[in-house]
Structure 1
Amino acid sequence: MNQTEKAELFGSLHRKGNPIVLYNIWDAGTAKAVADAGAKALATGSWSVAAAHGFADGEKLSMPVLVETVKSITDVIELPLSVDFEGAYSAEPQGAAANVARLVDVGAIGINIEDRIVSGEGLYPVERQAARIRAIRGMADGRGIPFFINARTDLFLAESDLAKHAGLVDEAIERGRAYAAAGGSGFFVPGLIDPALIEKICAASSLPVNVMMRAGAPDVKTLAKLGVGRISYGPGPYRSMMEKLKQDAAAIYSLL
């Protein structure tokens, strides 16, 4: 498949009630392992990619290193690859679009872009975030690629009190509609785990809704019944693998 065909395939895998499941990777080795396990597409997790290079999340990893990591994956894997791109390394629409273009150049067919202000406080106003999405869509359309822009809202991640999530749903729906109108392909609501609230957002969204697995979240079959179109695992796979590595190493060193 060429890049356009990969992007088309990736988009077609997002179906409400029959979600694509993405077990997030962070390098070429994990990409191969997940591909061999039967994945239909691949997606990086920004937290995991940064941690694998010794950095914290939040665009602490330099963009050249991230681009090279993406290239190392697309060089050896034929599956569609989406990149968790945080805030696109630029607050400005044209800067964000130019940075995403660098990922397109090395074979990516989609991104996550979040509406929190990286290295700042709070979220971008709706229209400003929509302008960033619109610029990225314009860049991709200019290249003739049906690039998948997974528009993420950090409303729920920013609120640690789960009891307050119900009060954020209307704003989330408003943001989702604005991001869709700007050219978004999917709507990502990490941090939200309440089944009734997930179902409400799925019903209101014209875009396939992405839920991230975390402690307390419904299982895959339940999320499908709620209308979710994409399920991702975020930093979970990295944390699990690193814990196993530490346990195995500790078992060896305890014998010395």
Structure 2
Amino acid sequence: MSAFAALHRPGDPLLLPCAWDHASAFALAGHGFAAVGTTSLGVAAAAGRPDGASATRDETLRLALTLGSAPFLLSVDAEDGFSDDPDEVGEFARQLAAVGAVGINLEDALGPADRHAAKIAAVRSAAPGLFVNARTDTYWSGDGDWTATLRRLDAYREAGADGVFVPGLTDHALIAALTARLDVPLNVLYTPGGPTLAHLADLGVRRVSLGSLLYRRALGAALETAAGVRAGRDPGGPAPTYDEVRGLT
């Protein structure tokens, strides 16, 4: 079992914070997170490109090249693999593994399940050491069809996925039903106001992703600070010093 796979523990799930650049990744690792993911929204927004549109293949690979040799485990959010061609997705995964990534997150975007399964199989063949987290968007952008969710997860597991991801799923009973049914780790997206990390652990979840939350919170803090200074208020809340940020390089 790889070091990254071993972090997906029953009762003690992997909390995966997601970075969008070098500084955010190294700051998170410096705070004790053994593994760091990337957020496709953060990477896309930082580059002025749309998320979920297969527009940031180069930016994603460039960030992986920057972070892959760092002293933490890196999992890369690769949207849908940036292609409908399974062989091209497999080659992208091979490049990620070559620069040091240990995991990849692939989303189906509610496209054909058999096509996504073929991408997973291609990644397994091209980069056998990469932990494949297969995401279905049935609850994220679909209608929350339980039968369709199970059908997709079964197909992705049969194709070789090491773990499965159902963002948008917050119902306690359904989460527990999935973890009882699956023979691989279930990943859920942390949702403010939803189940706590401790509760998700009790439900059998073995991976909890923060997705774009940190990036959006960082933007919110920047806007709040700028507006506060304009209004004559001193900025509140913690912030790294100039030298601390320089030390992340």
TM-score by length of 1: 0.86
- Select the structure with the greater relative contact order (CA < 8 A; seq sep ≥ 6): 1
Q: Show the counterpart of 2:35.
A: 41
Any conservation in 2 of the 1:85–1:111 contact (CA below 8 Å)? yes
Which residue does 1:134 correspond to in 2?
121
Distance 2:155 2:15 in 1: 25
Residue 81 of structure 1, aligned match among 71, 74, 87: 74
RMSD, aligned α-carbons: 1.8
1:184 aligns with 2:177: no
Residue in 2 aligned with 1:202? 179
1:69 aligns with 63
Cα deviation, residue 173, structure 1: 1.9
Instruction: Describe the SS at the equivalent of 1:88.
Output: coil
Deviation at 1:28, TM superposition (A): 0.9
- Structure 1 residue 68: Cα displacement: 1.0
Q: Residues 149 and 60 from structure 1, CA distance in 2 versus in 1: closer, same or farther, beyond 3 angstroms?
A: closer
Task: Determine helix, strand or coil for the equivalent of 2:18.
Answer: coil
**3-state SS, counterpart of residue 133 of structure 2:** strand
Aligned equivalent of 1:246 = 223
Counterpart check, 1:106 vs 2:89: no
Q: Is the 8 A contact 2:54 2:80 kept in 1?
A: no
Matched with 1:3 is none
Alpha-carbon deviations, 1:144-179, whole Å to 9, x = none?
xx21000000000113xxxx63xx223212221221
In the TM superposition, what is the alpha-carbon distance from 1:29 to its structure 2 partner? 0.3
Give the counterpart letter for 1:18 in structure 2: D
Q: Give the Cα–Cα distance (whole angstroms) in 2 for the partners of residues 63 and 174 of structure 1.
A: 29
CA contact (8 A) 2:54 2:83 kept: no
Which blocks of at least 5 consecutive residues in structure 1 are unaligned?
Answer: 1-6, 117-122
Mapping of residues 149-228 of structure 1, within 5 Å: 149-159=132-142, 165=144, 168-228=145-205
User: Percent sequence identity over matched residues?
Assistant: 37
Aligned 8 A contact 1:173 1:204 in 2 = no
Whether the 8 Å contact between 1:17 and 1:224 is mirrored in structure 2 is yes
Task: Identify unmatched segments of 5+ residues in structure 2.
Answer: 234-249
Q: CA deviation at 1:86?
A: 0.5
Q: Distance in 2 between matches of 1:52 and 1:233?
A: 18
Distance 1:53 1:124 in 2: 25
